[in-house]
Structure 1
Amino acid sequence: MFASICRRRLPFRIHQIPGGGTNPLHSISGTIPPAHNSYSSSAVDDVPNSEPCPDIVSYLISCGLSPAAAIGTATTHHRVRIRSTDKADAVRDLLRHYGFSDAHIARTVRSAPILLAVDPERILRPKLDFFVSLGFEPRKFASAPFVLGRSLDKHLVPCIQFLRDIIGSDDDLCTALARSTRTLMVDLDKYMRPAVEALRRAGLAEAAISKLLVIQLGVLALSPDRISKAFEDLKEIGMCIEDSRFLYCLGAMCVAKRETWMRKLALYRSFGLSEGEVLNAFKTQPTILFLAEESIKMKVRFFLEELKLGIHGVMAQPVILAYSLEKCILPRCAVLSVLMREGKIQRDIKLLPALLGTSKRFSTRYVLRHADDVPDVLKAYEGLLSHF
């Protein structure tokens, strides 16, 4: 069984930016933008057609994007034209100074190439310094670089003060921001304040609201009606506010579209599970709602067809579905296979309990304990053994 499993391992035109003193990003909307957002700015030329500028493509490639990604970005953001490579280089240097790796810069530039056209010292550095003062790592903005286009004094500082008053500590605030950085694009008065008031009206205590925002800050991007509906849906499936799992389920239910919920419910039931079993699994591990459908199918097939586990047993421990197949489950299976071969563990070991747990727990129990007398166990855990 395990043998078959492991075999599957599995030239630039430089222009000067005219003077002016306005933030070229001031026109970015206060709500969370779509994945591909078009920016308007006095610092960029308005290119009337969608043909990507060769100079832009060339510079984006120098930022670490692949040729295909550079063309795609230049085409999607066709209004953007870099007028000064010196300024663009200064932006990249500043980002590196604040901890951005080359990969972070490539991701940032791909999402928001407009940042290459801004004044790094006047526009970017004050914002980066502000977040550093909170203990937040600026490189995490690579996942939502358009946040850096919001006004520091008019938007970011008021939002952070509002969040700090509710969440409490800067450590928890930074944790919340790291999990949902793009929420900082949300308008304070139109979204954040009404969302918090909706949570209060629904019966959440202040401490619970604080914890919820650390778990899922994205709740603040929702309308009060959407939040109220999430409370109603949880009540319908038997979840009460007093349940220790409630906030985690609420965070998941709030940010998942209803169509997503119904589609995932149908998918899990297609494996032969009852609705009750799926709901119990969701209450235990709400993140099963966010797993990609193909990932779910692949893991379930693996557990059922390769490990010969029962679907009911798997769903009784739904956290296993959140584990990466390639990075976690397969290496652990390889380790167990080696130990079975060497007679260090019984072949009838209960696989699911053995596969569960933190990396530290698994490593201590099955890898480090046998590393001296079974050297292959380390190779297996590191994915260096393709078959046995």
Structure 2
Amino acid sequence: MFASICRRRLLRLRQIPSAAGTNPSWPNPIDAPPSHGYSAAALAGATVSEPCPITVSYLISCGLSPAVAAAHKLRIRSTDRADTVRALFRSYGFTDADITEMVRRDPRILTLDPDRILRPKLDFYASLGVQPRKLATTPLFVTRSLNKHLVPCIQFLRGILGTDGKVCRAISRNPSGLTQADLDKNMRPAVDTLRRLGLPEESISKLLTIELGVLRLSPDRMSQIFEDLKSLGLGVTDTGLLYGIRALSCISRETWLRKVSLYKSFGVSEGELLKAFKTQPTMLLFSDESIKKKLRFLLDELKLELSEVMRLPVVISYSVEKCIIPRCAVLRVLMREGKIEPNINLLSALIGSAKIFSKRYVLRYAHDVPDVVKAYEGKIAFEGFRDRDVLVPLKPSG
């Protein structure tokens, strides 16, 4: 019976006309059940000045810590409804961890009407192919109006991206780009600005696919980003421009300038920094402390040349504790056993996927040198590269 109801709802939802014409794979806003955001009528709970003991106990049962549960000033009037909400999410593929994350971010979802408010939206996202785990960090996905917000925005995006698959990928990468932006106030002006700045339609489509969040940028901020990237030598036909926009859309201009100053404080020249940014725009997205820690480790502990790090800036994206140090420990074991030369090009050996590194330096030698496995698992501490108490120098490249 439940499956039959779901199929009927999904069938009704697959009749919305697309932006370019009628497409039977899209829900029809006329036929879809009414949907609402938060309102006095929609909520079955109420905000209170002091924590409600019963509500706090229930939130703890959902997986929240006592402190987090007590911090939410909410009274759940019906735990039966809350149980039904959780069961509904599970039936659509959300794990208990997903549900805990949603409740932690906004416990009011437990008070929403399961059939009138939640189910139509869950059917809608399911029809798009968006996986539940992609939505768990954005509770707004069940609070925005289906007919007034979600459907019109999806129709707009489909008219630009062209295919259902691209729409699904765009939403999956950044659900908040759909839920936190308004169609007329944000989305249309942002796309119009991209066109005015000369970005080709194909590039706009790719940009929105990789970073839907740019639709929240104001026209002035978008224009400023283009000016900053233009000063780096990136034109509208350069592929790097899109990833540059993606990076700068995540930070303010003040933060961008501060990050630039931080790299320069380590001795990075402006030319080196601009070239590195074109190769790895995300190098400016890490916190100041993270950037400092990584550069100090690479330069002071591993004795790498700053110019070499800037030629391969992808290394800045690696975690020191979880990636670089275990790999260094493996390489040190192999040097000790004479399996690789001490003057190996260290930076080239360190970068690459975990699969490639494991195949090249761990699995290849695991039988003859079991310690490489222990080193990779963090069971053998890395204490520096030493050969007769002399730090191993980086082999010059080229």
TM tier relative to shorter chain? 0.7 to 0.9
Specify which of 335, 342, 354 is matched with residue 347 of structure 1: 342
1:24–1:42 contact (8 Å) kept in structure 2 = no
Higher relative contact order (CA 8 A, sep 6+): 1
1:367–1:377 contact (8 Å) kept in structure 2 = yes
Task: Tell me the CA shift for residue 144 of structure 1.
Answer: 0.8
- Could you tell me which amino acid in structure 2 is paired with residue 327 of structure 1? K
Task: Tell me the CA shift for residue 156 of structure 1.
Answer: 0.9
Task: Tell me the CA shift for residue 189 of structure 1.
Answer: 1.4
| Match of residue 135 from structure 1 | 129
| Match of residue 56 from structure 2 | 57
Whole-angstrom distance in 2 between the partners of 1:266 and 1:235: 19
| Match of residue 86 from structure 1 | 80
2:102–2:138 contact (8 Å) kept in structure 1 = yes
Q: Which moved more, 1:170-179 or 1:342-351?
A: 170-179
- Could you tell me which amino acid in structure 2 is paired with residue 43 of structure 1? A
1:25–1:40 contact (8 Å) kept in structure 2 = no
Task: Tell me the CA shift for residue 356 of structure 1.
Answer: 0.9
| Match of residue 384 from structure 1 | 379
Whole-angstrom distance in 2 between the partners of 1:387 and 1:235: 43
2:334–2:372 contact (8 Å) kept in structure 1 = yes
2:326–2:382 contact (8 Å) kept in structure 1 = no
- Could you tell me which amino acid in structure 2 is paired with residue 333 of structure 1? C
Task: Tell me the CA shift for residue 386 of structure 1.
Answer: 3.8
Residue 230 in structure 1 maps to residue 230 in structure 2: no
Whole-angstrom distance in 1 between the partners of 2:64 and 2:313: 37
Residue 367 in structure 1 maps to residue 366 in structure 2: no
| Match of residue 45 from structure 1 | 46
2:43–2:113 contact (8 Å) kept in structure 1 = no
| Match of residue 109 from structure 1 | 103
Whole-angstrom distance in 1 between the partners of 2:116 and 2:260: 50
Runs of 4+ in structure 1 deviating by more than 6 angstroms, as ranges, are none
- Alignment of structure 1 residues 238-257 onto 2, 5 Å: 238-257=233-252
The alignment yields a C-alpha RMSD, in angstroms, of: 2.0
- Could you tell me which amino acid in structure 2 is paired with residue 317 of structure 1? L
2:335–2:341 contact (8 Å) kept in structure 1 = yes
Note the alpha carbon deviations across 1:330-366, whole angstroms, 9 max, x for none: 2211221221122111111111000111222212211
1:159–1:184 contact (8 Å) kept in structure 2 = yes
Whole-angstrom distance in 1 between the partners of 2:312 and 2:169: 27
Whole-angstrom distance in 1 between the partners of 2:35 and 2:172: 25
Whole-angstrom distance in 1 between the partners of 2:41 and 2:265: 47
- Could you tell me which amino acid in structure 2 is paired with residue 367 of structure 1? V
- Alignment of structure 1 residues 253-264 onto 2, 5 Å: 253-264=248-259
Whole-angstrom distance in 2 between the partners of 1:40 and 1:337: 65
Structure 1: which 5+ residue stretches go unaligned?
Answer: 1-20, 28-38
| Match of residue 174 from structure 2 | 180
Task: Tell me the CA shift for residue 26 of structure 1.
Answer: 3.8
- Alignment of structure 1 residues 1-388 onto 2, 5 Å: 25-27=37-39, 42-47=43-48, 49=49, 51-72=50-71, 74=72, 78=73, 80-185=74-179, 186-386=181-381
Note the alpha carbon deviations across 1:157-191, whole angstroms, 9 max, x for none: 22112112211233322222122111112111111
Q: TM-score, normalised by structure 2?
A: 0.83
| Match of residue 20 from structure 2 | none
Cα 1:66–1:46, aligned 2, differ >3 Å: closer, same or farther? Answer: closer
Whole-angstrom distance in 2 between the partners of 1:324 and 1:247: 25
Cα 1:112–1:174, aligned 2, differ >3 Å: closer, same or farther? Answer: same
Cα 1:201–1:40, aligned 2, differ >3 Å: closer, same or farther? Answer: farther
Q: Which moved more, 1:167-176 or 1:144-153?
A: 167-176
Whole-angstrom distance in 2 between the partners of 1:22 and 1:134: 19
1:23–1:118 contact (8 Å) kept in structure 2 = no
Q: Which moved more, 1:89-98 or 1:317-326?
A: 89-98
Whole-angstrom distance in 1 between the partners of 2:210 and 2:34: 36
Secondary structure of the equivalent of 1:64? coil
Cα 1:287–1:24, aligned 2, differ >3 Å: closer, same or farther? Answer: same
Q: TM-score, normalised by structure 1?
A: 0.85
Secondary structure of the equivalent of 2:59? helix
| Match of residue 12 from structure 1 | none
Secondary structure of the equivalent of 1:255? coil
Task: Tell me the CA shift for residue 112 of structure 1.
Answer: 1.1
Cα 1:46–1:365, aligned 2, differ >3 Å: closer, same or farther? Answer: closer
Secondary structure of the equivalent of 1:81? strand
- Could you tell me which amino acid in structure 2 is paired with residue 172 of structure 1? K
Structure 2: which 5+ residue stretches go unaligned?
Answer: 1-32, 384-398
Task: Tell me the CA shift for residue 22 of structure 1.
Answer: 8.0
Cα 1:40–1:226, aligned 2, differ >3 Å: closer, same or farther? Answer: farther
Task: Tell me the CA shift for residue 23 of structure 1.
Answer: 5.8
Q: What percent identity do the matched residue pairs reach?
A: 59
Note the alpha carbon deviations across 1:73-106, whole angstroms, 9 max, x for none: x1xxx2x321111111111122222232222222
Task: Tell me the CA shift for residue 305 of structure 1.
Answer: 1.8
Secondary structure of the equivalent of 2:148? helix
